[in-house]
Structure 1
Amino acid sequence: MSQPNTSEDGRTSQALARDNYRCMVTGRVDTSSYLSGLTSLSPGEIGGFSNCCHIFPDSLANIVPGAAGPKEQESATVWTILKRFGYEDICEELGFASTSANLHRLENIMTLDVIVHEQFDRMNLWFQAIDGQDNTYKVVLAPAVGGLARLVAIPEQVTFVAHRPELPLPSPKYLRIHAACCRIAHLSGAAEHLDVIFRDMEELKVLAHDGSSADVLTYALHHRLAAPV
């Protein structure tokens, strides 16, 4: 049996196949895949331009051994925050602070239309899990980009399906962390709340068992993930 392709290009190809060569949100057929003969266009379908979207950005792998520049510091901070607040499993899965960070694992990759991808990266679009329905999410848009739903035909709800069952879908845990960061980023009138978070970021050592300190984690992650690296 051949070994799985773990390169970025290989994972992108696998993600496209898993997602049926279509955007996971809009359902638009990836134009490049269609022109390459990898998929066909059914009646009523339209094309678009999709690309590989990382839930945890691939820039977190920008760590040069022995370097201590801004990129290394920002990347290391994200890993440290995740580990500090009990997400050692994510650090292990994604290759904690390593030059061989496994950020291209399929659980961290989505096939998205370029416009949807941009808004996801800007934390203006996120996926809210629907209780009791596996891999089914409400697509949430920040108020500032609410009109995008009509422009790009973004549905209110999506269900992710692996068209290649052996290839894993995006991790619900990764998407939950991204969604939490987005919600914190778009809190209305949050100045006083953020003052408390800043203070707790300095003082808190572990998360509270009752979940009351979750905002500290989510804001810290948003602050770091949204910063240029």
Structure 2
Amino acid sequence: MAPPAPASALRRHRASLEGILDFSSQPPLDPAHRASAKRRFDQIINHFESESIRPGRDKYDRVKLVSLTYDHSTSEKSKDRLLAAFFAFAGLSITVDEDINFEDPTSQDELRASLDNFADYLFDNFFLPLKASTKKTPQPSPASHSAVTSTQRQGHIFAGTPERIANLRGACLIRDRYRCVISHKFDQAEALKRFGLQRRGQGEARDQDGQPLAGQRFEPLEVAHILPHSLTQLDSGGELNASKEAALAILNMFDDGAAHLIEGIEIDRPGNALTLTQPLHTYFGDFNVFFKPEGTVPHRYHIETFLPQGFTYDVPVTRTLFLTEERNIDPPSSRLLAIHCAIAHILHLSAAGDYIDDILRDADEYGIRHDGSTELHRLVGLHLNNWAGSQAHGNVIV
């Protein structure tokens, strides 16, 4: 763990929190101020990069997490937001065109503390809850055709989460032709249904392309959210809590306006979901499998993994995602897949993903350690902010 931040840095940190989430009224930086802010940001990153992970003090690379979050922002406006937030944490003016002073040891220590605070803010309010809550999309029973049609954009009023997820699964199965979009294995339940009809003399069991199902590969399929349902889950008062609002504000640092893609019931629309086998759902939810656009062909992706060789033989692979002939079910959003890919790389390259896995695994195996080494404040934060629902980790419910 990093040492406590100096008091002045903490005062600036706390003072900056009140306004740091509200970017709606913030004007974009003009080219000169943007170039100056980026130059000074790079000075800070480059200065502390050589001591990114300090043995015994850091569990993940805070400097790299901040730097990578900036690098993976998709637009100038998103990058401006991250720079504005960072300079607010550091107590520095974003419009002053002066080199950063590293000569004064006290100022340097405070600047490093501010950088660490900002990294921890991103970690605690976005990366940790996002990875902790993407372990699995709850799987409802398959939706009927009538339920599937209700997912279309005709002003349908969704009744509740189980119905929405059931509708989502049905819509994705139809759109994805009852196949995992990565492995192309056919849905086992649907195959059994079609073979049953064949035994009753109702024609040969075939897939959506008219090919015989006999000899094909089958596996139970699941609907997987690209960004987790819990990201927009309301509290008991029907409101987003401060933690969820912070996460959505950070999401807009990756892609300005992306939060609107998953507002309310949009989180459970087909544009935020894929059909996957159970193992690939787990790997995708853990940000160990990701989609990168392949060339200029729409909806074509090269699918890769950070997993060691031997964990899955379904990737790497290049796939063009399925579309319905009528185009009445949205394809997976390229913007959301790009955000998922960015998060996967940040978690992997900064070692934050391994740290999160260690936190959850430690709680699952040992509960609360008597020596105080359990990251209890982070586990409690997940529970209190309703990020991981009733998921149990040993003696700690998060």
**TM > 0.5:** yes
1:87 is the counterpart of 2:252 = no
- Provide the rounded CA distance (Å) in 1 between the counterparts of 2:295 and 2:286: 26
Match of 1:148 in 2: 311
Of the three residues 210, 214, 223, the one matched with 1:52 is 223
- Provide the rounded CA distance (Å) in 1 between the counterparts of 2:304 and 2:332: 17
Match of 1:77 in 2: 246
Contact 2:172 2:273 in 1 (8 A): yes
Bigger relative contact order, structure 1 or 2, given CA contacts below 8 A and separation 6+? 1
Tell me the alpha carbon deviations over residues 76-134 of structure 1, each in whole angstroms, 9 at most, x when there is no partner.
Answer: 2221212456522x222211xxxx44211111010001100100001110011112121
Q: CA deviation at 1:72?
A: 3.7
Of the three residues 231, 246, 269, the one matched with 1:105 is 269
> Greater Rg, structure 1 or structure 2?
2
| TM-score of the aligned structures, taking structure 2 as reference length | 0.41
Match of 2:321 in 1: 160
Q: CA deviation at 1:163?
A: 3.6
Tell me the alpha carbon deviations over residues 161-220 of structure 1, each in whole angstroms, 9 at most, x when there is no partner.
Answer: 214432121011100010011111111789xxxxxxxxxxxxxxxxxxxxxxxxxxxxxx
Structure 1 residues 11 and 173, CA gap change in structure 2 (3 angstroms): same
Of the three residues 162, 166, 177, the one matched with 1:9 is 166
Structure 1 residues 166 and 72, CA gap change in structure 2 (3 angstroms): same
Match of 2:188 in 1: 31
Contact 1:148 1:154 in 2 (8 A): no
- Provide the rounded CA distance (Å) in 1 between the counterparts of 2:261 and 2:206: 31
Match of 1:126 in 2: 290
Look up the equivalent residue of 2:336 and give its one-letter code.
Y
- Provide the rounded CA distance (Å) in 2 between the counterparts of 1:86 and 1:22: 30
- Provide the rounded CA distance (Å) in 2 between the counterparts of 1:86 and 1:132: 20
1:182 is the counterpart of 2:344 = yes
Runs of 5+ unmatched residues, structure 2: 1-148, 159-163, 195-204, 353-381, 389-398
Contact 1:21 1:39 in 2 (8 A): no
When the two structures are aligned, how many residues end up with a matched partner? 183
- Provide the rounded CA distance (Å) in 2 between the counterparts of 1:188 and 1:82: 18
Q: CA deviation at 1:63?
A: 1.7
Deviation larger for 55-64 or 2-11 = 2-11
Identity of aligned residues (%): 22
Structure 1 residues 178 and 84, CA gap change in structure 2 (3 angstroms): closer
Structure 1 residues 44 and 101, CA gap change in structure 2 (3 angstroms): same
